[in-house]
Amino acid sequence: LRKRLLTTAAVVAAGVLAYGLFTGDEGGIDVTAADEDRGYYVTHATLTEFGPDGSPRVVLHAESIEQRLSDQSVLLSDLKLDYTTAKAGQWTVTADRGLMPAAATALLLSGDVRVTGEQARGGAVIRTDQLSYDTGTSVIQTAEPVSVQVGAHQLEGRGLRVVLNDGTLRLESNV
């Protein structure tokens, strides 16, 4: 997923840049960035990964996506990730910031992180300050304090592990 997101973002950035060169419109890409460490920079981005059946599986919306050349990491701001599974339905993850390290398969989220699942018992909402989303296994986890609301019931604890494909959730401690 990481390579697909990076490739898609790079292709979109190159296309918008080429369009901007031909029309004189920069189209949301900062081509005059003072930061020489920047690879690409895209604003108001939407990246979509399709499942085997051709329907969207993962849709990422971000206010900005920026590649850092020094370590090949990707920074995201004001992001929303929609994830659909056949077994557990639709999940939406939002955060103020995201970081995808170059060699990792995880997206590290921080700042008002919220995970919402549309499930049978009134839905589930998870809130925390930091969260890791493993794009390969579709597992989210944190060691930070969390608040979990399922329907009318609310739990608080420290540490969490959710397998999105299965719809399973485990609070680690201090529940």
Main-chain dihedrals φ then ψ at residue 97, nearest 5 degrees: -140, 155
Residue with tokens 């990481």: 2
Q: How far apart are CA 58 and CA 92, in angstroms?
A: 10
Which amino acid, residue 119?
A: Q
Q: How far apart are CA 130 and CA 113, in angstroms?
A: 6
| Per-residue pLDDT tens listing for the chain (175 residues) | 555 655 555 545 444 444 443 444 444 333 333 456 777 889 999 988 887 888 887 888 999 999 888 888 889 999 998 887 766 678 889 999 999 888 777 889 999 999 888 765 567 888 999 999 887 788 889 999 999 888 888 889 999 998 877 777 788 888 8
Distances (CA, A) of 106 to 35, 51, 133: 26, 19, 5
Q: Write out pLDDT tens, residues 78-111.
A: 999 888 776 667 888 999 999 988 877 788 999 9
**Angle formed at CA 32 by CA 30 and CA 38, multiple of 5 degrees:** 70
